[in-house]
Amino acid sequence: MLLHELLTPSSALYGLEGGSKKRILENAAEIISEQHPDMSVSSVFNGLHSREKLGSTGIGDGIAIPHCRLAECTEAKGYLVKLDEPIDFDAIDGKPVDLLFILIVPEDSTSEHLATLAAIAELFSQEEARNALRANQDSQSLYETLCKLSAA
């Protein structure tokens, strides 16, 4: 599955508010649940939060990829988040995080979704991709940049 197929223009969230890891995940959960009412705020938040408890999904260089499997989820959803102020995320390299890709997949997700997760990590490991995403000033251009990057 190509990355941009997971996203819609409304799933790029520029300047999401929240001063801590927990607040960011809560606020993201609210928006996700608003757009997809079949998933409740608490189940999205709990899913992401319990995955973080196994170890931070901050993979370094200011990037985090929070992800989880949810029973309520019917098809994989991706959200790209850019923060104004980097926050502490207990990342591998200890650096604060400002760019997140949230991935939520169905409970019975297949190997395809692990491949998607790997592809996201791969994309964000490229410095040019990170720079291109960080250069955006609003949600629309953030979305367009990701589409360009994942189609390339």
Binding site for other proteins (CB under 8 A): 50-51, 53-57, 59-60, 65, 68-69, 92-96, 109, 111, 114-115, 117-119, 121, 125, 127
1: which strand partners?
none
Amino acid at site 95: K
- Which of 147, 4, 140 lies closest to 82 in space, CA to CA? 140
67 catalytically annotated: yes
Query: Cβ of residue 97: shortest distance to other proteins, in angstroms?
Result: 12
3 touches 116 (CB < 8 A): yes
* Cβ distance to other proteins smaller for residue 68 or 80: 68
State how far the alpha carbon of 68 is from the alpha carbons of 41, 65, 72, 144, in Å. 14, 10, 12, 25
108 touches 74 (CB < 8 A): no
Query: Cβ of residue 99: shortest distance to other proteins, in angstroms?
Result: 14
Query: Cβ of residue 144: shortest distance to other proteins, in angstroms?
Result: 26
Selected catalytic residue, list 4, 36, 49, 67: 67
* Cβ distance to other proteins smaller for residue 34 or 112: 112
Amino acid at site 38: D
* Cβ distance to other proteins smaller for residue 57 or 145: 57
Residues annotated as catalytic are 67
